[in-house]
Chains A and B, each alone.
Chain A
Amino acid sequence: MSLLRIRNIARSYEMGAETVHALRGVSADIEKGEYVAIMGPSGSGKSTLMNLLGCLDSPTSGSYELNGTDVSSLDENALSDIRNREIGFVFQTFNLLPRVSALRNVELPLIYAGIPRDERREAARVALEQVNLSDRMEHRPNEMSGGQRQRVAIARALVNQPSILLADEPTGNLDSTTGTEILGLFHSLWKKGHTIIVVTHEEEVALNARRILRIRDGLLASDEIVK
Chain B
Amino acid sequence: MKLWHEIMENLRIALESVRTNKLRSFLATLGIVIGVFTATLMATAITGLGKAFENSISAIGSDVIYIQRFNWGPSEKWWKVRARRPISLVQARRLAERVAPPATVSYESGMGGTVKYLDRTASNVIIMGNVAASAEVRGLSVQEGRFLSEAEVDGERPVCVLGHDLAERLFPYESGLGAWVKVNDRRYQVVGTLEKMGEFIFANLDFQVIIPVTRMIADFTREPDLTIAVKTGDAAALDEVQEELRWIMRTVRGIDPGEEDDFSVNNQNALLDMFGKFTAVIGTAGLSMTGLALLVGGIGIMNVMFVSVTERTREIGVRKALGAKRRAILSQFLMEAAVICLLGGVAALALAWPVTLVMQKWLPATISPSIAMIALAVSAATGLIAGFLPAWRAARLNPVDALRSE
Chain A residues within CB distance 8 Å of chain B: 51, 54, 56-57, 76-77, 80-81, 83-85, 89, 91, 95, 97, 99-100, 108-109, 111-117, 156, 160
Nearest Cβ in chain B — how far from A165, in angstroms? 13
The 4 closest A-B pairs by CB, nearest first: A84-B323, A114-B2, A112-B323, A80-B325
The answer on a CB contact under 8 Å between A76 and B326 is yes
The answer on a CB contact under 8 Å between B16 and A56 is no
Q: Which of B22-30, B215-223, B314-322 contacts A (4 or more CB under 8 A)?
A: B314-322
Cα separation A57 to B324 with both chains bound (whole Å): 15
* Given contact pairs A51-B400, A56-B400, A97-B315, A89 touches B322 in the complex (Cβ within 8 A): yes
What is the count of residue pairs linking A and B with beta-carbon distances less than 8 angstroms?
68
Cα separation A85 to B325 with both chains bound (whole Å): 13
* Given contact pairs A57-B400, A80-B320, A114 touches B325 in the complex (Cβ within 8 A): no
The answer on a CB contact under 8 Å between A95 and B314 is yes
A contact residues around B403 at 8 Å (CB): 56, 91, 95
Nearest Cβ in chain A — how far from B343, in angstroms? 18
Residue-wise, chain B 13-55 has the 8 Å CB interface mask toward A (1 for contact) of 0001000100000000000000000000000000000000000
Nearest Cβ in chain A — how far from B324, in angstroms? 5
User: Besides the contacts A54-B321, A115-B5, what 5 more A-B pairs have beta carbons closer than 8 Å?
Assistant: A76-B326, A89-B321, A91-B318, A112-B328, A117-B5
Q: List 19 A-B contacts (CB under 8 A).
A: A56-B320, A56-B321, A80-B320, A80-B323, A80-B324, A81-B325, A83-B320, A85-B323, A95-B314, A95-B321, A108-B319, A109-B323, A111-B9, A112-B322, A112-B323, A112-B325, A114-B1, A115-B5, A116-B1
B contact residues around A51 at 8 Å (CB): 400
Cα separation A111 to B328 with both chains bound (whole Å): 10
A contact residues around B20 at 8 Å (CB): 99
Counting CB contacts under 8 A, is B6 at the interface? yes
Counting CB contacts under 8 A, is B399 at the interface? yes
A contact residues around B322 at 8 Å (CB): 83-84, 89, 108-109, 112, 156
The answer on a CB contact under 8 Å between B315 and A83 is no
The answer on a CB contact under 8 Å between B324 and A95 is no
Chain B residues within CB distance 8 Å of chain A: 1-2, 5-6, 9, 16, 20, 314-315, 317-328, 398-400, 403
Nearest Cβ in chain B — how far from A117, in angstroms? 8
Cα separation A115 to B8 with both chains bound (whole Å): 12
A contact residues around B6 at 8 Å (CB): 111-112, 114
A contact residues around B324 at 8 Å (CB): 80, 112
Nearest Cβ in chain A — how far from B278, in angstroms? 53
Nearest Cβ in chain B — how far from A215, in angstroms? 17
Q: Which of B2, B16, B314, B322 has the most CB of A within 10 A?
A: B322
Cα separation A201 to B58 with both chains bound (whole Å): 89
Cα separation A115 to B9 with both chains bound (whole Å): 11
Cα separation A56 to B398 with both chains bound (whole Å): 8
Q: Which of B318, B319, B323, B326 has the most CB of A within 10 A?
A: B323
The answer on a CB contact under 8 Å between B318 and A95 is yes
A contact residues around B314 at 8 Å (CB): 95
Nearest Cβ in chain A — how far from B272, in angstroms? 57
Cα separation A83 to B6 with both chains bound (whole Å): 17
Nearest Cβ in chain B — how far from A105, in angstroms? 10
Nearest Cβ in chain A — how far from B335, in angstroms? 14
A contact residues around B317 at 8 Å (CB): 95
Cα separation A100 to B20 with both chains bound (whole Å): 11
A contact residues around B328 at 8 Å (CB): 112
Cα separation A112 to B331 with both chains bound (whole Å): 13
Residue of A nearest to B314 (CB): A95
B contact residues around A115 at 8 Å (CB): 5
- CB < 8 Å neighbour of B326 from A56, A77, A109: A77
Nearest Cβ in chain B — how far from A77, in angstroms? 5
Nearest Cβ in chain A — how far from B148, in angstroms? 78
A contact residues around B399 at 8 Å (CB): 56-57
Cα separation A54 to B399 with both chains bound (whole Å): 11
The answer on a CB contact under 8 Å between B5 and A116 is yes
The answer on a CB contact under 8 Å between B321 and A114 is no
Cα separation A57 to B403 with both chains bound (whole Å): 12
Residue of A nearest to B320 (CB): A80
- CB < 8 Å neighbour of B321 from A77, A83, A97, A113: A83
A contact residues around B398 at 8 Å (CB): 57
Cα separation A99 to B321 with both chains bound (whole Å): 19
